[in-house]
Structure 1
Amino acid sequence: EIHWDLVLHFNSDEDEEEEKDLNSLFHHQHYPFSSLSPEIADITILLSAPSKTFNLPSLLCSYAIITNPKLKQQFDFRMTCNAHRMKNCVAFPAIIAAYTQCSYWVDKTRKLYRDNFLIVKKFFLQEKYSNLVDVVEQEATFLLFINFNKAIAHFKYIDPMTKQEIYPLPRNIDIVTGKSFIPEINDGGTFDPLNPDALKSFFFERIAVLFMEGAQFSLEDGDGWIRLNLATEPKIILEIVHRIGELLDQLEEEIKARDK
């Protein structure tokens, strides 16, 4: 269960005053799968790590919670067989300290993500962008998914010479088949994208902002999604959305010039 300690829930209209109780900003609660019933706990191996929430990736400290003694014995045996016997002596006190003494860090971190989300959400709620861009109100983590499918459709036009569809704001297209990118799940259960980089590359080339592809967020219209990391300074998030806005404005001007 990854990012369980970064559960978020907030209302865009909530007061943003610094003195407001931080805990009141977050109303969702994470319920571990094993807590649903004793029967479920008896067959559950819960895996997690404090690495991202507490910025401890260098310690390589993850953990397993297993309440069934027999299941734990089997798990320990398999870990030994796979040569996972070396333990980081610093990791144990780090995990304990993270979960017992660093709640203030988590609250401030979640507030940062909340504030950055509000910057993005409010920017694209402006009238000229509200019909072009949809921002997902995520319930947890620092990864924000943004849907540009409406903008892609809005700026699309038919070339009068070739009669082909032209996408000034590109979809993620399979360069082999020419079809719109739809992520497929392979036998290993992971996404096997054909070419998820067209939209991401476009933003990088035009406004020097590098996103992660967000196509795996949707199996139906995944060719128009990008993913934005909110774990940075608000001024950087503000610069990013303004660059996107300026690009959308430029594309709108190109439509007007083409229609003359």
Structure 2
Amino acid sequence: MLEIIYHDEFMVAVNKPAGMLVHRSWLDSKETVFVMQTLRDQIGQFVYPIHRLDRPTSGVLLFALSSEVARLLAAQFESHQIEKIYHAVVRGYVEEAQTIDYPLLEQLDKIADKYATREPALQECVTHCLPLAQVECPIAIGRYPTSRFSLLELKPETGRKHQLRRHMSHIRHPIIGDSKHGDLRQNRGISQNFAVSRLMLHATQLILSHPISGERLSLVAKWDGSWLSLINQFGWQQVADSLGMIKLD
């Protein structure tokens, strides 16, 4: 059962679990559970995916309930009218807000672009990064006797493949749990010492205009148990509470 965070006669948004594919894919031909099919069965209605989240990323995922609404929502994404807010836990201390304006080489799809003859293009890519909290743990994961981590708010202006993961790797603060662009030693250390082994990237909020009424909507997906476990172990409960992700006793 998926957590539905918004539902009306025109669209539906869910809190996608980490590790779940949005729809059937060549990425895993043996997988049998997908967000799109699960949601369709759950609400008894066909759904139209508007955007994607990587398999290991959790958070807000939006679907239309008709092809016309899908077209209207897709137009908002394409014209950058939708604000996307993510949170991530990364290696090291990020102490100042910054804008990462660093082009990324287009990543062609292994199936859809299998016979493409053109070379991948360099694409404009911009991410706004705001540090929210830091912690130093008395655990030697790398070459130092302690390990440092930061909690970040990330706002992508563009929507390139693996943009946030690649940008954080570029500034040498890879996202914890990122097996492709991250620090495998840090990932193992977090798993062994804190019992958290997922990608620590979450699509927390989508801010958009309702495709029919024009009302401005804020769709928020709460953090899952693994996120809250690491937040508690790092002592970031007050920050999480200020973001509306947990309630303190």
Give the alignment's TM-score, normalised by structure 2: 0.26
Q: Which has the higher contact order (CA 8 A, sep 6+)?
A: 2
Pick the structure with more helix per residue.
Answer: 1
Larger-gyration structure (1/2): 1
Give the alignment's TM-score, normalised by structure 1: 0.25
Pick the structure with more strand per residue.
Answer: 2
